[in-house]
Copies of this chain bind each other. A is one copy, B any other.
Amino acid sequence: MNFPTNVFSKNATFDGALSIAGIKATTLAKEFSTPLFVIDEDDFRSRALAWKSALEKHFGAQAGHVYYASKAFISVEVAKWINEIGIGLDVCTGGELAVGLAAGFPADRIEVHGNNKSEAEITAAIAAGCATIVLDSFHEIERVNRIAGAHNVIQKVLLRLTPGVEAHTHESISTAHEDVKFGFSIASGAAWKAVEEVEAAPHLRLAGIHSHIGSQIFVADGFEVAATRLIEFLARFRDHFNRELPELDLGGGYGIAYLADESTMDPDQMMANLAAIVKSQCAAHDLVVPTVSIEPGRAIVGPSTTTLYEVGTTKVVTLENGANRRYISVDGGMSDNIRPSLYQAEYLAIVANRESTESTRDSRVVGKHCESGDIIIRSIELPGDVDAGDLLAVPATGAYGRSMASNYNHMVRPAVIAVKSGTARVIVRRETVADLLSLEVVESPRTLS
């Protein structure tokens, strides 16, 4: 078999069967059961470090933070790794903040996002001392100023701006053209009005601006347009207020490989591109280069993780055109990976427990939910002898797999295990039916009106 190393984590090998960090997939399945998320700890750390190194290499003293985007996947253990590596944490709800704090993550490297932060979430962030809150609406300017005042602090803030860029990506994950819920539009004047309000707010200190143009992006042109417009905006600020804003956060969205013919974006090359754009635009406006931060999430955790499934049933159907398709049903499905159904995302799979010499056939990998759309891989060539009991490995499932998982059909969500140098440990345990039943309560009816 041609093992697709570009899609698997760096310590995944195939020698008659799949191993990750020196442990056979069959051993992992036996020890921890399936479905199972296997995170290659060294791969995760290497990628996080690569983004940090690339940012520092190309921005030098102007390198800000790599903020890991929690929404892709966060757990207490992963937050500890991020802290050890010395990068920052991007959270966008009180729940994500709670995970960071439970890990002892230093609040001075936490950045708080979200288009609709509640009063409770803002209060928690300020009480914890989170370094940066990214403001997303006029309501939030008032709220954060008021709550910071109540805590007797001056809160450092960025403004999330909408630079009017439509990245070449799925609509759901493209976030900076005008017709989105996020940010203040530069074109409409909302961004400038927000600057004026923040400048007038006694408990806010405007440190800079932020944009995030989308996800799973492979070409730098969207970042170039966004950076150009943001730096024009910084120049306008300087011209009006006679001082320069010191921070620029260019968000994340760096694409990764899901299929054998795709490539994961190279941090060094991407940071070289960004630095060239930022430096030339700052020079053009006679601005000091600000401190630049970025927010990769998927680009760190996505490739680090492989899902292991056990095949339960197979079935051949005859299509209208007379061709056959084989359905391979695994023991998970859209509850542990909604991306194929939600975004028509494509994945690959390999047989993980053995090497087959059978010729391949067109196969569809499906889950066990009561729904036709419960498809993991719509069409893939897999060996003709795949059968019940085989293990399938689906790589690059670290981002938005476990984090978007559901209990649809009362399925329990898989465990996440970390593997490293021949060792394995659970970092997020598998749910049990008892966990699900623990939400059931018996209450007496209360009369209300």
Among B76, B412, B441, B446, which residue has its beta carbon within 8 angstroms of that of A427?
A: B441
Contact B405 A188 (CB under 8 A): no
Interface with B: A3-11, A87-95, A262-270, A350-358, which one?
A: A87-95
Taken together as a complex, chains A and B put the C-alpha atoms of A116 and B34 apart, in Å, by 14
Taken together as a complex, chains A and B put the C-alpha atoms of A173 and B171 apart, in Å, by 22
Given A95-B436, A313-B116, A372-B172, answer yes or no on A422-B449 (Cβ-Cβ < 8 Å). Answer: yes
Is A397 an interface residue when CB atoms closer than 8 A count as contact? no
Taken together as a complex, chains A and B put the C-alpha atoms of A179 and B378 apart, in Å, by 11
Contact B427 A448 (CB under 8 A): no
Among B162, B319, B409, which residue has its beta carbon within 8 angstroms of that of A95?
A: B409
Taken together as a complex, chains A and B put the C-alpha atoms of A364 and B179 apart, in Å, by 10
Given A23-B448, A71-B370, answer yes or no on A409-B92 (Cβ-Cβ < 8 Å). Answer: yes
Contact A116 B330 (CB under 8 A): yes
Given A98-B437, A317-B188, A406-B404, answer yes or no on A118-B312 (Cβ-Cβ < 8 Å). Answer: yes
Q: Mark A432-449, 1 if CB is under 8 A from B, else 0.
A: 010111111111111111
Interface with B: A134-142, A203-211, A242-250, A277-285, which one?
A: A134-142
Classify the secondary structure of A's interface with B: mixed
How many of these chains are in the complex? Answer: 2
Contact B331 A102 (CB under 8 A): no
Query: A residues 185-215 with Cβ under 8 Å of B?
Result: 185, 187-188, 190, 214
Is A113 an interface residue when CB atoms closer than 8 A count as contact? yes
Q: 28 pairs across A/B with beta carbons < 8 Å?
A: A28-B448, A70-B410, A74-B410, A76-B437, A93-B409, A96-B409, A96-B410, A115-B329, A118-B331, A137-B313, A139-B313, A172-B372, A172-B373, A178-B318, A178-B319, A179-B325, A180-B317, A181-B329, A181-B366, A341-B342, A403-B409, A422-B449, A423-B445, A423-B446, A426-B441, A431-B439, A435-B438, A435-B439
